[in-house]
Chains A and B, each alone.
Chain A
Amino acid sequence: MNHTIGTHPADKELINRILRGDNLAFGTIIKNTERLVAQIVFKMIPVAEDRKDLAQDIYLKVFHNLPGFKFQAKLSTWIAQIAFNTCLSWIEKKKKLLPGILHEEEMHPSANNSSRSIRMSAESGFHGLPNGSEFEARLFQKELSGILQKEIENLPATYQTLIILFHQESMSYEELSQITRLPEGTVKSSLFRARKMLKENLLSKYQKEAL
């Protein structure tokens, strides 16, 4: 899905139907944006049991606030903004109630079994596959993807969210700024730091193994 600024005419029609009392149209909105909301909720909320309640809470907020939606952004961006804020409120609440819950190591275990792939990937400059059979190459690629995934999970929640929304959901800096309600410059510098951190984490793992 390509998220660009501007509202899709179909979104307007769906909202009008909901405001006329057609709740089934809301089901279409859920289907259209479920993936994006899942990206945010999974990256921000480490406690799996809370995700269902949060997802419900997000969409109920969306439903009740639809009359106030002014089409200044794309509907999906607006829903992502609600999802992000709801997750932030959850984090704030949990930090007050149970300090430390968001920093548990077991929630983001490091990839201890990843040394071989890291070594191989660093030797090939992280840009190509090592020499060997096609089967080995595929195996290596799969393993490497898993390692990177774990390294992404080790980043702070907000960095994970920004990285995924920018690189996987192809969202622009402007849209990320709308979602996080942070200045565009802050979003850019945060993304820069997140990418740098991710790269350095991968390389430091390799260097530790190489010694």
Chain B
Amino acid sequence: MNTHHPSEKEIQEYALDKSGTPENSNHIESCARCSAEVKTYLFLFSEIKQSPQPSFDFDLSAAIMPLLPQTPPRLSADRFVAGFLVLFITFFVGIPVFLFHHYILNIFSSIPPFFIYSIIACASLFVLAKTLDMHKKYQKQMRLLNFN
């Protein structure tokens, strides 16, 4: 018998759907301590499944239906603005870039390397700042969710 006890995570996974390595499964079936852990989780899962379900103490439909506008919902103006911007950029930037890309490449080849490195450094700094901002937002959300 494998004497190494599976981790808490592996025990949970086994209790959920009997998944895991055959070694872990064999161990859990023959180890009293791990079997008791699995049974505890199975008990919890079964009790959660059967726990009473909450319901609103008012008629939700009756409360909402009078608040609905009589005209059907339509796409918000923001979406039209966004769509217009995409079309605008495609038309006035994308098409010229596609048509004159050889000339554009020539422009870059005539720029001194110092400027090219400066542009790359600026772009990298911008990406780094954006990444840090995303990370900060993620941490904020995690704190809000009580995950940290």
Contact = CB atoms under 8 A, between A and B. Distances in A.
Interface residues of B, number: 42
A118 B61 CA distance: 41
B109 interface: no
A19 B73 CA distance: 6
A195 interface: yes
Interface string A28-62: 00110011001100100000000110011001100
A35 B73 contact: no
Contact of A190 (B12, B43, B75, B147): B147
B74 interface: yes
Interface string B69-101: 011111110010000000000000000000000
Interface of chain B, main secondary structure:
helix
Contacts, number: 128
A34 B73 contact: no
B60 A34 contact: yes
A34 B56 contact: yes
Contacts of A207: none
B20 to A, nearest CB: 14
B105 interface: no
B51 A31 contact: no
B8 interface: yes
A18 B73 contact: yes
Contacts of A38: 53-56
B36 A125 contact: yes
Given A55-B63, A67-B74, A144-B47, 7 more contacts: A21-B70, A21-B71, A55-B56, A63-B68, A95-B144, A127-B36, A148-B44
Interface in A1-34: 18-21, 23, 26-27, 30-31, 34
B76 to A, nearest CB: 8
